[in-house]
Amino acid sequence: MRTASQHHLMYYFSSRGSCKFHQAIKPRVWNSSQISFTGRGQSLRFPAPIRKTRLFVISNTDDGYACAPLLEEERNTNNVPTLESEAFFSEWFPPSFLWRGLSVLVLAGQVIIRILKGKVHWGNTLEQLERVGPKSVGVCLLTSAFVGMAFTIQFIREFTRLGLNRTIGGVLALAFSRELSPVVTSIVIAGRIGSAFAAELGTMQVSEQTDTLRVLGSNPIDYLVTPRVIASSLALPFLTLMCFTIGMASSALLADSVYGISINIILDSAQRVLQSWDIISAMIKSQVFGMIISIVSCAWGATTIGGAKGVGESTTSAVVISLVGIFMADFALSYCFFQGAGDSLKNCV
């Protein structure tokens, strides 16, 4: 047994709105998809969505009565917008790298504004400064010493064959001051401090501790992000200067004890080559690298979602993005600081 039925929607008008009808309204059906309401001097006509339904009924052989409808088929004849198109936009979400990259720029702008306004939590800043500076000295100096000795082996091995023993110290000094010291120090800090920043802020984000700070009237930017950015920017230049000193000292000791090149020759060559701008450029680079590490790590931590797994992914991604940012910034700053042909080595030849 198969039957078909057609349903029409019912419309109710309330007199509490802005338009009031004092006359009787008579509905008229113009066609299957349009309804008109007419009154004295007034006429309203608009399309009415008609819902056509087909009901399929299967007879029940047990009792002779028809069972309930099994299939219902609907069709919208008036092209009325449905929720299917809206569902596509509601489910769309921008890629994580896009909105996280924008969050880095937004966070950097907020930090600059808060610093200019003087809204800095100095107690937390001193705590983070101790954490980034004195507590990171050991691993930075150890890394710089071994990197310096490794480069010394390569330079002495090649320059000795050319009879350029007096230029080894100058080449080492330029390499350490311009590139190795700021980059190596920043890599160590990115792995040690940047990962900690991202993990801490990520855990606070997924556990809603940042929302608690807002409820208590504290701005998370002032309390969490700005102190970390200031501490990283201030501590890295001094760490870079210390790493440069230890790197040159370890290189001179290795050259004297293993290859027989006097420490005085290494240090005198370095003194002739080095200029004040070489040290200043290294400190500027390290300060920029510190800002990149802290802002990227804090931004990745503040945008963490997904619980413990999200915290782990944010920590790893923050370190990777920080390293990429360091290398890109190093190229840009080196291109700006050192253009043209150099003449630093002519004083030690």
Q: Are 184 and 323 in contact (CB under 8 A)?
A: no
Tell me, yes or no, whether 220 lies in a domain: yes
Tell me, yes or no, whether 224 lies in a domain: yes
Q: Are 35 and 27 in contact (CB under 8 A)?
A: yes
Q: Are 224 and 121 in contact (CB under 8 A)?
A: no
Tell me, yes or no, whether 171 lies in a domain: yes
Cα-based torsion angle of the residue sequence 292, 295, 297, 301 in order, rounded to the nearest 10 degrees: -160
Tell me, yes or no, whether 47 lies in a domain: no
The total number of structural domains in the chain stands at 1
Distance CA 65, CA 136 (A): 85
Burial (CB count within 10 angstroms: exposed 0-12, middle 13-18, buried 19+), residue 231? buried
Tell me, yes or no, whether 349 lies in a domain: no
Domain of residue 240: give its range: 126-334
One-letter amino acid of 233: S
Tell me, yes or no, whether 162 lies in a domain: yes
176 closest CA partner among 270, 260, 262 = 270
Residue 12 C-beta-side C-alpha neighbours within 13 Å: 2
Tell me, yes or no, whether 82 lies in a domain: no
Instruction: Give residue-wise pLDDT tens across range 207-231.
Output: 888 888 888 888 888 889 999 999 9
Cβ neighbours for 127, distance < 8 A, ≥ 6 positions apart: 227
Write down the pTM of the prediction: 0.70
Cβ neighbours for 126, distance < 8 A, ≥ 6 positions apart: none
Tell me the pLDDT of the chain (349 aa) as tens digits.
Answer: 444 444 444 444 444 444 444 444 444 444 444 545 445 545 445 454 545 545 444 555 555 554 554 444 445 555 545 555 455 555 666 667 677 778 888 888 999 999 998 888 888 999 999 999 899 999 999 999 999 999 999 888 888 888 888 888 888 999 999 999 999 999 999 999 999 999 999 999 888 888 888 888 888 888 899 999 999 999 999 999 999 999 999 999 999 888 888 899 888 888 888 888 999 999 999 999 999 999 999 999 988 888 888 899 989 999 999 999 999 999 999 999 887 666 666 666 6
Instruction: Give residue-wise pLDDT tens across range 265-314.
Output: 888 888 888 888 999 999 999 999 999 999 999 999 988 888 888 899 98
Q: What is the DSSP letter of 339?
A: -
Tell me, yes or no, whether 142 lies in a domain: yes
